[in-house]
Amino acid sequence: MQGVDKNQYIIIGKYYISKCIMMSFPPQLSVFDSETNEDKVLFVADVFKLLKNEGLDAELLEEYFDKINGITKEDRLRFIKAFDEK
């Protein structure tokens, strides 16, 4: 991925996750694996699963979606806690 504008990606471990969201339903993201040079288009939930399965922290991706949704990290954590209590 030489010559690529890294500001257009969220880089987590070996994965370059595009900040450009495909407005399908559900939304999709392009994910580039820098070790295998494989590029995939995945649903957002599948990106989070991929990161979890690889043992990677998805906080940078969470923060990106917080900005898009206009919420704070504290709001997100409060929503998650309320959902888990149900």
The chain-wide mean pLDDT, for the chain, equals: 91
* pLDDT tens column, 25-37: 999 999 999 999 9
Report how many domains make up the chain: 1
pTM of the model: 0.82
Contacts of 17-23 with C-beta under 8 Å, sequence gap 24+, read: 17/47, 17/61, 19/64, 21/68
Task: Tell me, yes or no, whether 22 lies in a domain.
Answer: yes
Task: Tell me, yes or no, whether 1 lies in a domain.
Answer: no
pLDDT of 80 reads 85
Residue 60: pLDDT over 70: yes
| Stretch 65-69: mean pLDDT | 91
| Stretch 40-63: mean pLDDT | 96
pLDDT of 2 reads 60
**15: containing domain:** 6-85
